[in-house]
């Protein structure tokens, strides 16, 4: 049901923050399609995007995403190249006029990159920031700017392990980078003007980003938008104005089928909460490890943790960290090193991480703590 990888008689659990683990079913189906897609005798990476099998697959992928997220009418779905980072400029290019302003929340590295890019198109009001506290929480008490075009949030912060549990109500409409927790919980899409998400964390492989945009917010800016950066170029062409990242979209298609068969987003949320609580409980009850994010803002997707200061001397920390990571790898627990900007450790437990993987990690944390003492 979930993605595990037998290697030399050992099961490997991939805790990478992205590109991340994918359902084994989805990768197996994608691998088969490389040789023969839809019983055509032609591999999916060799087939023109103008053929009926590819057009049908992209249309089905759009339909599945609409169904799983209960996306209402009036919203368009696009599958575009460039990842979420390209959306940092596409969003303000399409929505923020040069003589207008937008509100941005600064809750992590990617949120900060998004607001820096937006400054090239119009005025940016940074309405809140947790940068001074190393982004360890989500600021909630902030005032929006009167007349701001939109309010931008980053739903989940992969490096620091924080997540908006409730989205703020925007004066106009919300724009959200949902790259690392899309499809992990139900959301009310009608509260958003635009949602974008790079696929490689919770939805598929690198190479494609999904954009969900309310059509009536487009066409308001005065600038001449470059053709490929204009959402209105891609909407009537159903993401096929130029050759789209077909194979990446197909893997997303298979992941969406897997999720639907699992019971959909509501069922996935229950599993994700169970996985996260299991790991957070272990960290909270540990004398060696501790989580780094404020408890009320803890992410269900990315869980950074470190050694407790009183448990490991500063001059020994680096050596003990290396030992921990080496022993974890021996146990088949991969990619647990924290982001280079913060150090420590991080377990990314996206949709495709099975609860057995979290159980294995929790067991290892206890084992390592016993060895350390």
CB-based burial of residue 303 (10 Å sphere; 0-12 exposed, 13-18 middle, 19+ buried)? buried
Tokens of 353: 């991480």
Is 290 among the residues known to form the active site? no
**Catalytic hit among 103, 177, 181, 297:** 177
Indicate the helix (H) or strand (E) that contains 193: strand 192-198
Active-site residue, selected from the candidate residues 103, 106, 181, 201: 201
Residue of 103, 106, 110, 181 with catalytic role = 110
Cα 360 from Cα 127, distance rounded (Å): 41
CA Rg, the chain, in Å?
21
Catalytic residue list contains 275? no
Phi and psi at 194, nearest 5°, equal -155, 135
- The Cα–Cα gap between 166 and 178 comes to 13
Q: Kindly give the residue spans of alpha helices, DSSP state H, lying in the chain.
A: 24-35, 52-68, 83-95, 109-118, 231-234, 246-262, 264-284, 317-330, 355-372
**Cα torsion angle, 298, 301, 306, 308, sign:** positive
Distances (CA, A) of 81 to 27, 84, 208: 20, 9, 5
What is the total residue count of the chain?
Answer: 373
Interaxial angle between packed helices 246-262 and 264-284, expressed in degrees from 0 to 180 and rounded to the nearest 10: 80
281 is catalytic: no
The residues annotated as belonging to the active site are 110, 177, 201
């Amino acid at each position: 049901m979930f993605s595990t990888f037998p290697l030399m008689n050992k099961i490997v659990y991939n805790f990478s923050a992205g590109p991340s683990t994918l359902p084994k079913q989805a990768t197996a189906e994608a691998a088969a399609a490389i040789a023969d897609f839809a019983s055509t005798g032609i591999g999916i990476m060799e087939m023109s995007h103008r053929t009926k099998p590819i057009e049908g697959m992209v249309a089905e992928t759009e339909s599945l995403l609409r169904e799983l997220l209960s996306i209402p009418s009036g919203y368009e779905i696009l599958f575009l190249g460039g990842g979420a980072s390209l959306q940092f400029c596409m969003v303000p290019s399409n929505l923020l006029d040069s003589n207008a302003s937008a509100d941005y929340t600064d809750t992590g590295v990617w949120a900060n990159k998004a607001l820096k890019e937006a400054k090239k198109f119009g005025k940016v009001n940074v309405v809140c920031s947790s940068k001074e506290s190393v982004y360890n929480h989500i600021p909630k008490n902030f005032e929006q700017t009167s007349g701001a075009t939109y309010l931008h949030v980053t739903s989940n912060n992969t490096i620091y392990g924080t997540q908006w549990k409730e989205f703020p109500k925007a004066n106009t409409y919300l724009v959200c980078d949902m790259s690392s927790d899309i499809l992990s919980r139900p959301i009310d899409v009608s509260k958003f003007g635009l949602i974008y998400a790079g696929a490689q964390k919770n939805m598929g492989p690198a190479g494609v980003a999904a954009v969900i945009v309310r059509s009536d917010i487009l066409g308001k800016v005065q600038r001449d938008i470059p053709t490929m950066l204009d959402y209105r170029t891609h909407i009537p062409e159903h993401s096929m104005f130029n050759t789209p990242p077909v194979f990446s979209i197909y893997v997303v298609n298979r992941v969406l089928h897997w999720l639907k068969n699992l019971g959909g987003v509501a069922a996935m949320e229950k599993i994700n909460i169970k996985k996260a609580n299991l790991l957070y409980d272990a960290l909270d009850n540990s004398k060696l490890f501790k989580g780094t994010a404020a408890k009320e803002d803890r992410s269900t997707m990315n869980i950074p943790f470190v050694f407790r200061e009183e448990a490991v001397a500063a001059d020994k920390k680096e050596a003990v960290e290396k030992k921990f990571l080496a022993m974890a790898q021996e146990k088949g627990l991969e990619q647990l090193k924290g982001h280079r900007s913060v150090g420590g450790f991080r377990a990314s437990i996206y949709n495709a991480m099975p609860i057995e993987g979290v159980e294995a990690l929790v067991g290892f944390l206890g084992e390592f703590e016993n060895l350390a003492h």
